[in-house]
Amino acid sequence: MDFFTYHNGELHCEEVPLSRIAQEVGTPVYVYSQRTLERHAQVFTQAFANLNAMICFAVKSNSNIHILRVLAEQGIGADIVSGGELYRALKAGIPREKILFAGVGKKADEMEYALSEDIFMFNVESMEELDLLQATAKRLNKTASVALRVNPDVDARTHPYISTGLKENKFGIPMESALESYRYAHSLSCIRVRGIHCHIGSQLTAIEPFVDAFVIIKNLVRELLSENIPIEYIDMGGGLGITYDQEKPPLPTELAAAIAPHLKEVPCRLILEPGRAIAGNTGAFLTRVLFTKDNGSRKFLIVDGAMNDLARPSLYGSFHDIRPAVVREGNTEVVDIVGPVCESGDFFAKNRPLPPCHPGDILSLMSAGAYGFTMSSNYNSRPRAAEVLVSGDRYRVIRQRETYEDLTRLEELS
């Protein structure tokens, strides 16, 4: 559940009207509910409490340090994929012993940074990466704890851009070479094998792919243990979906119940890396109607938000529920909601029925707390949006809106 509700025809985040935030902070703007964020973190940790699971938030889904600080206070760790995300996680106060470093393209300087900070573990995705990590750790006189990411060739039944567990995907080590890869990793002087990692995709709406992948990983763990290769952790990644439209994803408690019998068969601690499932429905993206346009065959609402601010609809064809901040009376109209960027792909919705809207009205795109601001850009030299965190009847700006000066701050004229 979330804490975005209508009161007397006006959409609120907790006790704050969204129209007030739009008026005082301006648009476009991301608005997050702290109460929702805390609740989702608690639901996830409580669901897996009996399994003694380690929960590490996927920082790529929402990397604002204030969001990460709230999660750190709930005992959540961090799943990072870059040196920059490591910097953010540490700055937010996430303990280094709860930080996992994933990603297919780690650079030597990122490895050095992570080793110098003594993070918990690296999720390694190739033998060349493993060799670079060995050489880096040896140069620093360090030992790197690792899990190898194994690709189980399981169909996550999600959008192909966010499916990661098939042979055709760039992620992980093929299952048929996993045993030999672990033998090699175990032989290296500055590598400590501690776990096995698997992540099959994002926005999963069924439990079966999770379980299918877990059974494959469990059987590999047994093989590794039989060869005295220590496996203390099974990291099943994240990917649990949320409701954007009509989806009915499994609850964390249902996933825990499905995994529990299999986990009992191996002496390992479970690690999970939820991102969207915690942050997705904590956020809304507010945009203001600039103009209305009727070309005879289609009606458009032209808004001040754009694909550079929220890329998911253009990138994935994704659905976001769109609600007026203040409901007007009148018949609904079928409209396309489009932005000002010079691309036909700059849209938030097509053929969407909405109540009457006029220039100046505020629209709220829901479920924008994950993969919203983190995927934004300065395309068309547009300053990135502000971010706001609401707690009860108060809010604060947790990232200032960029200025024109910010756009050229790192550029130099010769």
For residue 343, say whether it is annotated as part of any ligand binding site. yes
For residue 274, say whether it is annotated as part of any ligand binding site. yes
Cα angle at 264 between 263 and 269, to 5 degrees? 55
For residue 305, say whether it is annotated as part of any ligand binding site. no
For residue 276, say whether it is annotated as part of any ligand binding site. yes
Give the Cα separation of 366 and 411 in Å (integer): 35
Residue with tokens 């060349």: 128
Give the Cα separation of 263 and 232 in Å (integer): 12
Q: Which of 304, 291, 378, 379 is nearest to 26 (CA)?
A: 304
| Residue of 190, 198, 268, 342 with catalytic role | 342
For residue 316, say whether it is annotated as part of any ligand binding site. yes
Both tokens of residue 325? 């901040």
Please report, for residues 63, 68, 201, 323, the alpha-carbon distance to residue 85 in angstroms, rounded to integers and kept in the order given: 7, 11, 20, 32
- Name 285's Cβ contacts closer than 8 Å, sequence gap at least 6: 28, 29, 30, 31, 305, 309, 310, 320, 364, 365, 368, 372, 385
For residue 38, say whether it is annotated as part of any ligand binding site. no
Both tokens of residue 157? 């039944």
Coil, helix or strand for 294? strand
For residue 371, say whether it is annotated as part of any ligand binding site. yes
Active site (annotated) includes residue 56? no
| Exposed e or buried b per residue across 191-206, where buried means at least 16 C-beta atoms within 10 angstroms of its C-beta | bebbbbbbbbbbbbbe
Helix 252-263 crosses helix 208-226 at what angle (to 10 degrees)? 30
Give the Cα separation of 13 and 40 in Å (integer): 16
Give the Cα separation of 290 and 362 in Å (integer): 10
Q: Which residues are annotated as a binding site?
A: 239, 273-276, 312, 316, 343, 371
Active site residue ranges = 342
Q: Which residues are annotated as a binding site for substrate?
A: 276, 312, 316, 343, 371
Q: Which residues are annotated as a binding site for pyridoxal 5'-phosphate?
A: 239, 273-276, 371
